[in-house]
Structure 1
Amino acid sequence: MLRVSLIDELHLAVRPILLGSGEHLRDGLDLHALGYARTHAVAGERATYVFLSKRA
Structure 2
Amino acid sequence: MKKFAKGFFVGALATTSAVAGTLFSFKKKVVDPVEDRAQKLEENRKRVVRKQRSAHQG
Point out the structure with the larger helix share.
Answer: 2
Point out the structure with the larger strand share.
Answer: 1
TM superposition score category, shorter chain reference: under 0.3
Higher normalized contact order (CA 8 Å, seq sep 6+, divided by chain length): 1
